[in-house]
Chain A
Amino acid sequence: MKYIKFFLIGIYFGIVLTKAEVISWFRIQEMFHFNSIHMYGIIGSAIVVGATSVFFIKKFNLKSFGGENIRLISKEYHKGLLPGGIIFGLGWALTGACPGPMFALVGNGVQVMLVAILSAIAGTFVYGVVKDKLPG
């Protein structure tokens, strides 16, 4: 079944998010209060690893394990980047969780995050309805 590898990668992601403490509301507050290097170190070193892998892929024209050319697509500029980012940031400081951690929190037994997920889906839905009236 072709989806098994995605499930396994997801398991890895859920374990890392949990053990990294990234899913802790307290850690996110700590981040916004600049009280520790923890979250900045995690995000920064994650970017270093990710960027290094992209560098090698581009430099040596590396292929995927399936033999395909690896698709690297940078998201385009649009006017919603900043206002959307700000709106997300407002919510992130409230929930203490961005999308990945919301799901990891459910796995950690914080069932009420299911409501946050439903709310997020509702927020996405409202965006889809009103987007043409928004700048960008």
Chain B
Amino acid sequence: MEFFTQAWPWYISGPLLGLMVPLLLFITNKQFGVSSNFRHICAMFAPKSIGFFNYDWKKEIWNLVLILGTVAGAWVAHTYLNPTVGVGDDTYAILNQEGVKQFDGLAPADIFSWQGLFTLRGFIMIVIGGFLVGFGTRYANGCTSGHAIMGLSLLNVNSLIAVIGFFIGGLVMTYLILPYILALQI
């Protein structure tokens, strides 16, 4: 029982995450991939004139159910399994210098909160950030689950290209752009 309330090292949680691949393949004969859900949600409401959303989204309800389960599971972990966050001291030092002031919890509370949303900094990170995630994952046809985990499990070179893109984008943002955004005091 203690296992569930302790912090999980990567060599435990990583393999458990990787099990999503065989779990979905053996139990349901589906491939792991979360970002397509954004497309399915669009397809529910979009006019048929937009070809990209004109398909039978009802066949993909399974994936929407899966992410609902994800919300529920996260709630279970949050409530009963004592989730922790341990991050390296170097990272804290860099972020503190760049303008992050709150380090409790899963994300800086002064940014990732309803109050934070109405600051320029929070708006950029939440709304623009979210928009880039939604646009980019469809343009690449996958995210870290679909390309990095499922795609690379299939030894798919195309997924490797996407993953390289993920890191180029992430590093450019982290080193070149984010410091200016974090410094915004409004």
Contact = CB atoms under 8 A, between A and B. Distances in A.
Interface string B143-186: 11111111111111011011111111111111101100100000
A94 B178 CA distance: 7
B19 A49 contact: yes
Contacts of A119: 126-131, 133-134
Contact of A107 (B4, B72, B94): B72
B72 A99 contact: no
Interface string B74-100: 111110010111111011101100000
Give the most central of B90, B129, B175: most A CB within 10 Å. B129
Interface string A74-98: 1111101111111111111111111
B140 A88 contact: yes
Nearest to A21: B85
A60 interface: no
B50 to A, nearest CB: 5
Contacts of B13: 16, 19-22, 42
A29 to B, nearest CB: 6
Contacts of B134: 91, 119-125, 127
Interface residues of A, number: 114
Interface residues of B, number: 126
Interface in A57-76: 57, 62, 64-66, 68, 70-76
B71 A14 contact: yes
Contact of B17 (A46, A76, A112): A46
Contacts of B112: 25, 96, 110, 112-113
A22 B47 CA distance: 36
B65 A51 contact: no
Interface string B99-143: 000010011100011101100000011111111111111111111
Main SS at interface, chain A: helix
Given A43-B144, A90-B169, A119-B127, A13 B62 contact: no
A9 B52 contact: no
A66 B81 contact: no
A105 B74 contact: yes
A15 B153 contact: no
Given A90-B136, A90-B172, A10 B91 contact: no
A125 B46 contact: yes
A118 B18 CA distance: 27
A127 B52 CA distance: 9
B15 A49 contact: yes
Given A16-B13, A43-B144, 5 more contacts: A42-B14, A50-B21, A70-B29, A91-B128, A123-B130
19 contacts: A3-B62, A9-B66, A10-B69, A13-B20, A32-B174, A45-B15, A53-B19, A54-B154, A85-B164, A87-B136, A88-B133, A88-B140, A88-B143, A93-B169, A99-B133, A111-B114, A115-B117, A121-B38, A124-B137
Closest A-B pairs by Cβ, 6 of them: A85-B165, A10-B69, A89-B169, A14-B73, A107-B74, A123-B134
